[in-house]
A and B are shown apart, each in its own frame.
Chain A
Amino acid sequence: MNIKDVENLAKLARIELTEEEKSELLSDMDSILEYVKQVEEMKVEDTKSELSTYNVWREDKIESRDFSRELITKQFPASKNGFLKVKKIL
């Protein structure tokens, strides 16, 4: 891994980093990835999952929940007429 990789990951994750943070993260990530790489050596005899996964359904009807619209809208960083205001995307 090198500093370019860190920059690329930060770009993908939309996080701004200073030069100092980048080099610090690089050395942390190097040693952490080196350690977790040992997962490669863990033996897996049978890869078939026995997990019982199933869908969780509910009736398609409206149930009132204890939400506060006022509390939700109050936390919008920017709003207009009770709507969330966002910046132009395209």
Chain B
Amino acid sequence: MTIDLKNLTIKKARMALDEKEFSAVDLAQAYLGKIKEKNKELNAYLEVYDDVLEQAKLADEKIGRGESSPLLGIPLAIKDVILVKNKKVSSASKILENYVASYDATVIAKLKEQGAVFLGRTNMDEFALGSSTENSAFGVTRNPYDLSRVAGGTSGGSTVAVASDMALGALGSDTGGSVRLPAAFCGVVGLKPTYGRVSRYGLIAAASSFDCVGQIAKNIEDAEIIFNAISGHDILDSTSVNYEADSKLSSKKELVIGVPWNLINQEGIEPNVKENFQKIVKSFESSGYKIKDISLPNCIALYYIINFAEVSSNLSRFDGVRYGLHKDGKNLLEDYLLTKGQGFGKEARRRILLGTFVLSAGYYDAYYGKAQRTRDALRKEFKKLFSEIDLILTPTSPIPAWKIGEKSDPLSMYLADIFTVTANIVGIPAISLPSGFMEVAGKKVPLGIQFMAPHGREEFLFEVGKKLEMIEGSN
């Protein structure tokens, strides 16, 4: 049988599976077929698991027994940074190329409990360092809308898998925009939850005070389904928080949206992106939302200083002693030098050195210390801001997907994160939603807009996300 994967959503698949219109095995087979057809060109998957059909068979048995849960039998893609027991997980790095996970991440355990089917692990920037998936040690992932362009990053493999019908949904990780930016570049929905709302036990760390496990889906409802399945407090992650208590607070009268025009009107924002964004703002305004002009600082410098510091600390564990790549030298010191020198890619090495620099005695106060103080001040500022507004709206990226290889200067790539890093600094939830297309050199490439909400207020994001789908659908 043929399943219309293009128009399939998690919700529709759930109904079809429960009604026995098709089986989980049929569905998994359809996706495996698509992967076979497209993955060579797009390079979204680094590995397709060899037990996909067995997983699907188990799901069918459960369905046969009358069991049902939102993700039972739903085929998902997992970013190569989340541990699945007995499967390889490499963070797209040579240093972990053959590493096999010895336990399940909490998010994976939760999905397994629901009976989700894992198709494979997806490509990314090495150790989640980048904005385009060009920093993978295993080749670039291509944008399905224009193969000469990047998919965005760092969760580029996951967003491409969902955008090109090679998975029905996916997990990514978001440190400074790594779920939202590629979601925008590939025309799918990408959610970064509140810091701590989804357990990170079993997520390979990039920058621990920013990292979040994110959800990637074709529409807002599906993103919400995945979020509900994996969120919640986890005793194994001491940074995880419990929002159950106050999450169903008041359903507010009408949501007020703040727009930081000071950032959007500055140079470096592609005119077509701005035009598309203005159109979206108008749509929300005419749908009855109150729009307020706000001002936000540019946080790229602050973000990257902390990122470098945390990345260099986190990556120091990869030393060739306990696991991963080991290059043998004359003594222990030489083992370290050779293993790290050959195991880490360019961007990883760059950030390790930059982190070592900003944390070094003579420069600590001027860089890292100042960045932390500014971060505290920003958190306060946001607390005040969210007493006046409910949501912040920006484009997701100042520019659309760029040509592969175009941004060889690392700094120019960092600047693409101008709208996304802020949510990670403050720890608030944010989402990227598809907002249309623009034409570049005869090809249509997707654009995205971003909403940020106060801590624990993912429900606001789901509400405006559904609204935007209605607006876009009626156009």
Contact = CB atoms under 8 A, between A and B. Distances in A.
Interface string B311-347: 0100010011111101000011101111011101000
Given A46-B380, A76-B323, A39 B100 contact: no
A65 B411 CA distance: 42
Contact of A66 (B103, B321, B350): B103
A49 B316 contact: no
Interface stretch (B7-15, B161-169, B301-309, B459-467): B301-309
A39 B302 contact: yes
Contact of B340 (A14, A76, A78): A14
Contact of A29 (B109, B300, B350): B350
Contacts of A31: 409, 411
Given A9-B356, A15-B352, A33-B357, A77 B371 contact: no
Contact of A40 (B235, B312, B370): B370
B356 A50 contact: no
Contact of B338 (A16, A37, A44, A56): A16
B441 interface: no
Given A15-B337, A15-B349, A68-B102, A77 B411 contact: no
From DSSP, what is the main secondary structure of chain B's interface residues?
helix
Interface residues of B, number: 62
B453 to A, nearest CB: 20
Interface string A38-64: 111011111101110000101000000
A89 B103 CA distance: 30
Contact of B410 (A6, A21, A28, A45): A28
Contacts of B22: none
Contacts of B300: 35-36
B366 interface: yes
A80 to B, nearest CB: 14
Nearest to A27: B409
Interface in B337-391: 337-338, 340-342, 344, 349-350, 352-354, 356-358, 360, 366-367, 370-371, 373-374, 376-377, 379-380, 383
B297 interface: yes
B350 A68 contact: no
A71 B100 contact: yes
A66 B352 contact: no
A75 B367 contact: no
A4 interface: no
Contact of B301 (A16, A36, A68, A75): A36
Interface string B97-110: 00111111000010
A10 interface: yes
Interface in B122-161: none
Interface of A: 5-6, 9-10, 12-17, 21, 25, 28-29, 31-33, 35-40, 42-47, 49-51, 56, 58, 65-68, 71-72, 74-78, 84, 86-89
- In the A-B complex, the 10 residue pairs with the smallest Cβ-Cβ separation, listed nearest first, are A16-B341, A77-B326, A71-B102, A16-B337, A14-B336, A56-B238, A75-B323, A36-B301, A87-B332, A39-B301
17 contacts: A6-B353, A13-B312, A16-B341, A36-B301, A37-B301, A37-B367, A44-B376, A67-B102, A67-B103, A68-B85, A68-B86, A71-B85, A71-B86, A72-B323, A77-B321, A86-B321, A87-B335
